[in-house]
Structure 1
Amino acid sequence: MPIVPDGPADSGDQDDDRGAARPGGPLFRDETPQEPMAAPPPPPPKKRAGRDLRAAIGVGVGLGAVVAASLFIVKAVFIGVIAIAVVIGLWELTSRLDEKKGIKAPLVPLAVGGAAMVVAGYARGAEGAWVAMALTALAVLIWRMTEPPEGYLRDVTAGVFAAFYVPFLATFVAMMLTAHDGPWRVLMFLVLTVVSDTGAYAVGWRFGTHKLAPRISPGKTWEGLAGAVVFAMVAGALCMEFMIDNGVWWQGLLLGLAVAASATLGDLGESMIKRDLGIKDMGTLLPGHGGIMDRLDSLLPTAPVVWLLLVLFVGSG
């Protein structure tokens, strides 16, 4: 291989202007070297929602249309919508428990008992819901006996928890529907929960700096919680005044405050479950939202709160 010299070879008496273009210092004595200009700081990263907002909005509008149509046309159809959501939610929850922790909560008695629980709550009220809950727990205990005893206590405990967490809490929505203005009560419950979540998201996304529970849900802030409270209280006052028979605006303020608290705690509760399981979403059924359980997280614990306060404020109807 030929050796290539580092610089131009000495050319004797010949003039070589190429060498003049290679000085190590300035061309003129009074020229000072210029310091390189510092690069401008990069712009701060834009906040992102973390999900496909178009898909989320489209799915949300579609679900809202289904709920509204079933709610105000035939009550029995809406009960069927609740039962279907409960069964899918139980399937998501038990599937994730099995995949991530090896916990085999029996799905068949949970699904049958969960659907029956919703119907019993609508037909027989709180008493029917409690009886169905007890029978579902008993069915879980017996069903699991068909498998080997290893992990029995773990599996049935998870099964009873799932029965209470999903169908039993959802039964309070069915019990709201039994009032003479039941569809409006259910609609108000849904509106307040959605408004609370929307207020928390909008205010937290724009102004949130102080973390609410960083070890559980890093995205939640105290500013977002304040937004949820304000949005829900305003919506509650309007809904109680114009949607609920004999409702008064100040009752709506209290109801909105309670909804903001229960919805936030419900969201944090499911976030704790998902962190323990090491997952982001419970499922992928709803584009932009995750799974059914990712939409029920704030609704489920809010249902008994709204049901109870409405009974105290305006009666069971």
Structure 2
Amino acid sequence: MNDSSWGPPPVAGYVGPPADQPRAVPAGPVRESGPAAQTRPMSNVPAPSGGEPEGRGESEGRQPGKKRAGRNLRAAVGVGLGLGLVVLATLFLYKPAFLAVIAVAVVVGSWELSARLAERKGIHVPLPPLAVGGAATVVAGYFGGPEGAWVAIAFTALAILLWRMVHPPENYLRDVTAGVFTAFYVPFLATFVALMLAADDGHWRVLTFLVLTVVSDTGAYAVGWRIGRRKLAPRISPGKTREGLAGAVVFAMAAGALCMQFLIDGGTWWEGLILGLGVAASATLGDLGESMIKRDLGIKDMGTLLPGHGGIMDRLDSLLPTAPVVWLLLLAFAGAG
């Protein structure tokens, strides 16, 4: 989710230009002290107050169908519905097709993160072994279980180390470290969705995982937008509030109780409460984690592939770290399936 999604609608605010362009002088006096003075302002990064970029204030008005943060609401809803239909159709009609959806998301997400690292930090991740190894890790997890996933991710890391050797040794350690980090952050975490899918009732487990994550994000947005006042982590994601976190917990626990009682064989409502609490915590940490990465890179979105949403990684931020939590809790509550 985006930085403005947990709090009330943002107000217009000044955001400076990129570091490699001349800095415009604001109309009023500027104080260059405190934490704000230590942050490099970027034209495409939300202001510390959660405001809009320069040139998008109240005086210009807003285009119909767009949220105050500049998102195209109609496109966001349309893309979201389209993705939902693809996910549900492949999940319930043919499991290997959904496995292919996971593999494609892993490859695209790895490419987005690698591209942003190259653009903003000059870090060149060996993409071919990362993409091939990432997809192979997902497939290995589905057919070979956790052991297969571990073997595949180990060979992926080794391939990254070897592939980078064909280039000059300068920045070798930096590039391979980023490559191994990306391999564990995107494909390895996504493999836990494949592990859930492999169970006999895998489609219901994956649906529970998706529903709880979406409900957690929705609860955070709804409560934070209406009554959010106290910032949760203002230096990482200024739009998120403690009230929004409370909303995520309540919504996710309620949905977890329903899902465990009616969707998972042998599940009980009280196990769903624990599951929902775990999802709310992991989804929030995952959202904050990607916000930290994007602020370090000086970007607002990881990509532009999904109109109204950003990139694939902007949709996976809370899903990736939630997958192992849900897999482990379902394994403990309902067995391997």
Q: TM-score w.r.t. structure 2 length?
A: 0.80
Q: Does 1:269 align with 2:289?
A: yes
* Structure 1 residue corresponding to 2:330, chosen from 287, 310, 314: 310
Please report how far the alpha carbon of residue 48 of structure 1 lies from its aligned counterpart in structure 2 after TM superposition.
3.5
Superposition pairs of residues 128-277 of structure 1, within 5 angstroms: 128-277=148-297
Structure 1: state its 5+ residue gaps.
Answer: 1-46
* Structure 2 residue corresponding to 1:96, chosen from 116, 126, 129: 116
Q: Which residue in 2 is equivalent to 1:66?
A: 86
Q: Distance in 2 between matches of 1:251 and 1:152?
A: 47
Please report how far the alpha carbon of residue 202 of structure 1 lies from its aligned counterpart in structure 2 after TM superposition.
0.9
The letter for the 2-side match of 1:107 is L
Q: Which residue in 2 is equivalent to 1:41?
A: none
What secondary structure, in the 3-state scheme, does the structure 1 residue paired with 2:238 have?
A: strand
Please report how far the alpha carbon of residue 279 of structure 1 lies from its aligned counterpart in structure 2 after TM superposition.
0.1
The letter for the 2-side match of 1:274 is K
Please report how far the alpha carbon of residue 51 of structure 1 lies from its aligned counterpart in structure 2 after TM superposition.
2.0
Please report how far the alpha carbon of residue 105 of structure 1 lies from its aligned counterpart in structure 2 after TM superposition.
0.5
Please report how far the alpha carbon of residue 50 of structure 1 lies from its aligned counterpart in structure 2 after TM superposition.
4.5
Q: Distance in 2 between matches of 1:194 and 1:48?
A: 22
Greater C-alpha radius of gyration: 1
What secondary structure, in the 3-state scheme, does the structure 2 residue paired with 1:212 have?
A: strand
Q: Which residue in 1 is equivalent to 2:134?
A: 114
Q: Which residue in 2 is equivalent to 1:288?
A: 308
Please report how far the alpha carbon of residue 57 of structure 1 lies from its aligned counterpart in structure 2 after TM superposition.
1.5
Please report how far the alpha carbon of residue 260 of structure 1 lies from its aligned counterpart in structure 2 after TM superposition.
0.3
Q: Distance in 2 between matches of 1:235 and 1:92?
A: 32
RMSD: 1.3
What secondary structure, in the 3-state scheme, does the structure 2 residue paired with 1:250 have?
A: helix
Please report how far the alpha carbon of residue 56 of structure 1 lies from its aligned counterpart in structure 2 after TM superposition.
1.3
CA, structure 1 residues 68+120, in 2 after alignment: closer, same or farther (shift >3 Å)? Answer: same
The letter for the 2-side match of 1:264 is T
Length, aligned pairs only: 273
What secondary structure, in the 3-state scheme, does the structure 2 residue paired with 1:218 have?
A: strand
What secondary structure, in the 3-state scheme, does the structure 2 residue paired with 1:246 have?
A: coil
Q: Distance in 2 between matches of 1:57 and 1:207?
A: 24
Structure 2: state its 5+ residue gaps.
Answer: 1-66
What secondary structure, in the 3-state scheme, does the structure 1 residue paired with 2:166 have?
A: coil
The letter for the 1-side match of 2:224 is G
The letter for the 2-side match of 1:98 is A
Q: Which residue in 1 is equivalent to 2:99?
A: 79
The letter for the 2-side match of 1:172 is F
Q: Distance in 1 between matches of 2:241 and 2:298?
A: 22
Q: Distance in 1 between matches of 2:78 and 2:284?
A: 24
Q: Percent identity?
A: 80
The letter for the 2-side match of 1:259 is V
Q: Distance in 2 between matches of 1:288 and 1:234?
A: 28
The letter for the 1-side match of 2:120 is K
Q: Distance in 2 between matches of 1:48 and 1:262?
A: 28
Q: Distance in 2 between matches of 1:80 and 1:188?
A: 19
What secondary structure, in the 3-state scheme, does the structure 2 residue paired with 1:219 have?
A: strand
What secondary structure, in the 3-state scheme, does the structure 1 residue paired with 2:167 have?
A: coil
Q: Distance in 1 between matches of 2:201 and 2:80?
A: 24
Superimposed CA distance per residue, residues 195-251 of structure 1 (whole angstroms, 9 cap, x where no aligned partner)? 000110111111110000000000000000000001000000000011110110000
What secondary structure, in the 3-state scheme, does the structure 1 residue paired with 2:279 have?
A: helix
The letter for the 2-side match of 1:198 is T
